[in-house]
């Protein structure tokens, strides 16, 4: 493990070790903004792409072939472990994921299955093995999952939500069902993420995309124990990034829950966030994805602002504040990667 960390700036940054420049990767870096992805998408449904190891590997590598990124992230979806648990869903056109039988009562939770990922999600493990062979040690590969709260919310709401009324309703009004649901999801995630490590990923990211709907008191009571359980039972040979959106008020608790790196979105000042959580963890972020639609001069200005906030301190990984958006100009993505490398190397050499 030590030699692997020494080799890759991304892994060194995860462990808060010095790097010659600030490493960068992008959430959803394999996706609809790339014509290569859109060409494949015409031939396969989204879930077919996830479940076909050769296609998923190809999509994972598309941005790596095009940009000088410092890490790849396996092409998949946070919902993948839910189907073998017994929660059927589909991706409806223009609507995103739709669950036809949401989980809203204790009997629904009791039906959920604790899965063995290598047996029931073998396609993901094979995708990871293919990508590792193709990368040939050039850059590390990140595996990922949703966090317990975010996955539970999808199952309860039946899809996307704005106010999470059903999720909070179950949380507040049916504690036995909520606790059992979070216990089952947490156990599955521990197995699922550790299986990805066994298959070959060299880092993990936990996406708690919806947890920002909670206040700190509710997070601490209803969510924290389960997120902490997951993060505390992962293979420690790989670093873990703990990411959420709209989580400015939750950052100290998220840090306490665990993770080598805390990911922050664009709604919080990166320097302020790092000072709040403490410099004994790394930080990831946090360019607003919409900035990539602006002129190159604006992108450069924002890159410098974020890197200046990090101050050249070991442990910063540059990323967007959330996933890259469809229709993002490809040339702006390329410019972003080059800007981060160039400016941060100058900062670290004391030339800025």
Q: Which of 115, 121, 3, 20 is nearest to 344 (CA)?
A: 20
Distance of CA 326 to the CA centre of its chain: 17
* Residue 77, SS3 per DSSP: coil
Rounded Cα distance, 135 and 3, in Å: 17
Rounded Cα distance, 286 and 268, in Å: 8
Rounded Cα distance, 56 and 123, in Å: 9
Q: What are phi and psi of 89, to 5 degrees?
A: -150, 165
Rounded Cα distance, 78 and 322, in Å: 14
* Residue 317, SS3 per DSSP: strand
Contact 149, 210 (CB under 8 A): yes
Positions marked active-site: 28, 32, 41, 77, 154
Token pair belonging to 7? 């080799």
Rounded Cα distance, 9 and 15, in Å: 10
Angle subtended at Cα 200 by Cα 78 and Cα 58, rounded to the nearest 5 degrees: 65
Contact 237, 202 (CB under 8 A): no
């Amino acid at each position: 493990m030590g030699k692997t960390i020494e080799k890759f700036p991304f892994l060194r940054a995860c462990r808060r070790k010095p790097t010659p420049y600030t490493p960068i990767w992008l959430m959803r870096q394999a996706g609809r903004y790339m014509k290569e992805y859109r060409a494949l998408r015409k031939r396969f449904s989204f879930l077919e792409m996830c479940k076909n190891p050769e296609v998923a590997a190809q999509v994972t590598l598309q941005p790596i072939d095009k940009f000088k990124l410092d890490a790849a992230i396996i092409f998949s979806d946070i919902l993948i472990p839910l189907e073998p648990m017994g929660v059927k869903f589909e991706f409806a056109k223009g609507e995103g994921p739709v669950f036809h039988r949401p989980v809203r009562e204790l009997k629904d939770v009791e039906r959920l299955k604790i899965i063995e990922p290598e047996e029931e999600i073998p396609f993901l493990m094979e995708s990871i093995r293919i990508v590792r062979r193709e990368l040939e040690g050039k850059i590390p590969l990140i595996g990922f999952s949703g966090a317990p709260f975010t996955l539970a919310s999808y199952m309860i709401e039946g899809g996307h939500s704005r106010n999470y009324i059903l999720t909070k309703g179950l949380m507040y009004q049916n504690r036995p069902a909520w606790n059992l649901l979070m216990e089952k999801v947490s156990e599955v995630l521990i197995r699922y993420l550790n299986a990805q490590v066994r298959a070959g990923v060299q880092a993990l990211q936990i996406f708690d995309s919806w947890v920002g709907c909670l206040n700190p008191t509710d997070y601490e009571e209803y969510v924290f124990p389960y997120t902490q359980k997951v993060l505390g039972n992962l293979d420690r040979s790989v670093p873990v990034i703990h990411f959420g959106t709209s989580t400015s008020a939750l950052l100290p608790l998220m840090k306490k829950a665990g993770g080598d790196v805390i990911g922050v979105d664009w709604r919080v000042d990166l320097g302020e966030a790092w000072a709040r959580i403490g410099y004994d963890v790394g930080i990831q972020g946090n360019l607003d994805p919409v900035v990539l639609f602006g002129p190159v001069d604006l992108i450069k200005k924002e890159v410098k602002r974020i890197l200046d906030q990090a101050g050249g301190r070991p442990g910063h990984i540059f990323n967007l504040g959330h996933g890259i958006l469809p229709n993002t100009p490809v040339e702006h993505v390329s410019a972003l990667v080059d800007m981060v490398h160039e400016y941060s190397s100058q900062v670290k050499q004391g030339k800025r």
